[in-house]
Structure 1
Amino acid sequence: MAQEQKVSITGPAGMLDGRWQVAEQTQLGVLMCHPHPLFHGTMDNKVVTTVTRTAAGLGLPTLRFNFRGVGNSEGVHDKGVGEQDDVLAALSYARNELGWQKVILAGFSFGAGMACLSACRAPEGIAALVLLAPAVHHFDAPNQLPYEFETFIYMGDADEVVPFDEVSDWAERVVPTPHYQVFCEGSHFFHGRLTDLKASLQEDWTPLLKAVGLG
């Protein structure tokens, strides 16, 4: 597998530092958003890289990036407001610069919230929404998601950061009903369960892979 390439994404608050994994096909790619910048969240987080490596192993191109003010990305943290625009800028880059036709938009914790809200603002071209331990206590989780794509939620029932009950309650109330997988004794960072998470992602992405001739 080829190494990721460094890319610079033009964002509304300046350039965003990113990493792009090339693949032979560009019909479907994975864009991954990292956890909270104020709690040391970056695109190098282990959950983030587990998702992108899983995707790359399936033949999918991937893109991960640092939100504004993180690492070499310009700008300053904007409390989850401007960060949504960062996601939209990365989506635009994936489509217009990398040539992706469809995008699996994924995020972990804070990044899951930003991915969710961005998908609601711009659902066009999104093949699936993947939310890992979505920090529903930190963002205004919507009561309705777009019908253009399916949503997948992955949560550990021993999460020490995001309240498990709040995520479960939201997963039960939001429409359309998302796919919701609970990892027994799973922590926020999926310690000891990353292999299981990888297997779940592979299984859930199979229908999408078949649509582009990879499954």
Structure 2
Amino acid sequence: MAQEQNLLINGPAGQLEARWQAANQTRLGVLMCHPHPLFHGTMDNKVVTTVTRTLAGRGLPTLRFNFRGVGTSEGVHDHGRGEQDDVLAVLNYARTELGWERIILAGFSFGAGMACLSACRAPEHLAALVLLAPAVHHFDAPNQLPYEFETFVYMGDADEVVPFEEVQDWAGRVVPTPHFSVFRTGSHFFHGRLTDLKASLLDDLAPLLNPLQP
């Protein structure tokens, strides 16, 4: 497996710090968004790296980045407005510079919110939307998702940060209905459940992953 490489991506508020792991194929890649910048969220978050390493292990190229104002990314935190533009800029980079044909867009907590809203703005090149503990109480969660791809929601029912009932309610109302995986006694950071999370990801995304295998 290739080592991650450091990248600087031109974003709307300046350069964004990123890490890219190459793969032999570029038909499908993974872009992962990190949790809230004002609560120490970065692209080095354990859930973020668990997702990227898991899918890199299946031969996918991966890309994670720091939102504006985080790490060495330029700009200042924009309370979820400019951060959507950051996601779209990195999506565009993955397509035009890395050559990815389709993208699994994923996010954790605040990052799940930014991924969700960005997916609604630019659904045409997405293969799937993966939302881990989406902070629906902190962003204007849409009533409708794009039909171009399937959406997967992962949530611990003992989440101490994002209210489980609010995510459950949203997942039951939004159209089309997402796949909703509940981790019993699971916390916000999936403590002790990361192995289960990895297994669920690989199982849910198998229809996308299996055609890539030789």
CA drift at 1:95:
0.3
Aligned 1:140-179 pairs, distance under 5 A: 140-179=140-179
Structure 2 residue 4 is the aligned partner of structure 1 residue 7? no
**3-state SS of 1:182 partner:** strand
Note the residue ranges of structure 1 that are not aligned, 5 or more in a row: none
Match of 1:86 in 2: 86
CA drift at 1:132:
0.0
TM-score normalised according to structure 1 size:
0.98
Note the residue ranges of structure 2 that are not aligned, 5 or more in a row: none
Aligned 1:56-67 pairs, distance under 5 A: 56-67=56-67
The amino acid of 2:121's aligned partner reads R
* Distance in 2 (alpha carbons) for counterparts of 1:178 and 1:2: 33
The superposition leaves residues 83-142 of structure 1 with CA deviations (integer Å, 9 ceiling, x where unpaired) of: 000000010010000000000000000000000000000001100000000000000000
CA drift at 1:3:
1.2
The superposition leaves residues 65-90 of structure 1 with CA deviations (integer Å, 9 ceiling, x where unpaired) of: 00000000000000000000000001
- Percent sequence identity over matched residues? 81
* Distance in 1 (alpha carbons) for counterparts of 2:200 and 2:57: 14
**3-state SS of 2:175 partner:** coil
CA RMSD across the alignment: 0.8
CA drift at 1:9:
0.7
* Distance in 1 (alpha carbons) for counterparts of 2:185 and 2:17: 34
Match of 1:28 in 2: 28
* Distance in 2 (alpha carbons) for counterparts of 1:179 and 1:140: 20
TM-score normalised according to structure 2 size:
0.99
* Distance in 2 (alpha carbons) for counterparts of 1:37 and 1:140: 18
Aligned 1:34-183 pairs, distance under 5 A: 34-183=34-183
The amino acid of 1:90's aligned partner reads V
* Distance in 1 (alpha carbons) for counterparts of 2:123 and 2:213: 23
For these two proteins, the number of residue pairs brought into alignment is 214
* Distance in 2 (alpha carbons) for counterparts of 1:98 and 1:197: 28
Aligned 1:172-211 pairs, distance under 5 A: 172-211=172-211
* Distance in 1 (alpha carbons) for counterparts of 2:77 and 2:136: 19
CA drift at 1:2:
1.8
**3-state SS of 1:154 partner:** strand
The amino acid of 1:20's aligned partner reads W
The superposition leaves residues 150-209 of structure 1 with CA deviations (integer Å, 9 ceiling, x where unpaired) of: 000000000000000000000000000100000000000000000100011111111011
The superposition leaves residues 44-70 of structure 1 with CA deviations (integer Å, 9 ceiling, x where unpaired) of: 000000000001000000000000000
**3-state SS of 2:205 partner:** helix
**3-state SS of 1:140 partner:** coil
**3-state SS of 1:100 partner:** coil
